[in-house]
Amino acid sequence: MENKIIVALKAIIIYNRKALIIQRSYGDVSGSGSWEFAGGKLEFGEDLESGLKREIMEEVGLEVMIERLLYASTFQSKEKRQTVILNYLCHSNGDHVTLSEEHERFQWADKKTMKKFLTKGILYDLENNKIFDQIDIIDE
């Protein structure tokens, strides 16, 4: 098997000064039960924003406005597979979430809740890139 790079797109979706976090299904091979932001893999031929909007609609059923790219990160997910993640700031006009079968639960989270539930890797990236200082989320 040759080395492979996967591009993933993730969204910090803000509504009413809270961010949407979602919990992966317990049967999921990768990250079972962990909390994350909505998003997924970019498909061949897609532009970044269309791919992100498609993934958000598939996973949580929301239409969003993409404001800007917040940060990029990368990690080696398997011996011969590296994942590059582009993380975007998005806004939603509503909070009615319809989860796909890939996820168990969702929560509109303040900063304290995000810090409690998100994985250590995601929190490291958020803090390292000073994202909590850049987004307007309640700090309860």
**How many whole angstroms separate alpha carbon 3 and alpha carbon 13?**
32
Rounded to whole angstroms, the Cα distance separating 102 from 28 reads 7
Q: What is the pLDDT of residue 74?
A: 93
* Among 55, 85, 77, 73, residue whose Cα is nearest residue 4: 77
Read off the pLDDT band of 58 (50, 70, 90). very high
Say what the pLDDT of residue 78 is: 80
Does position 77 have pLDDT exceeding 90, yes or no?
no
Average pLDDT over residues 77-98: 94
Name the residue ranges covered by the structural domains of the chain.
4-133
In this prediction, residue 48 carries a pLDDT of: 97
Q: Determine the topology of domain 4-133 in CATH.
A: Nucleoside Triphosphate Pyrophosphohydrolase (3.90.79)
- What pLDDT does residue 30 have? 74
Confidence at residue 82, expressed as pLDDT on a 0 to 100 scale? 94
Quickly tell me which residue has 């309860």 as its tokens: 140
- pLDDT exceeds 80 at position 140: no
Band of pLDDT at residue 3, cut at 50, 70 and 90: very high
pLDDT of residue 26 exceeding 90: no
- Strands 81-92 and 38-41 come out as unpaired
Do 137 and 18 contact (CB within 8 A), yes or no? yes
What pLDDT digit, counting tens, does each position of 33-56 carry?
A: 999 999 999 999 999 999 999 999
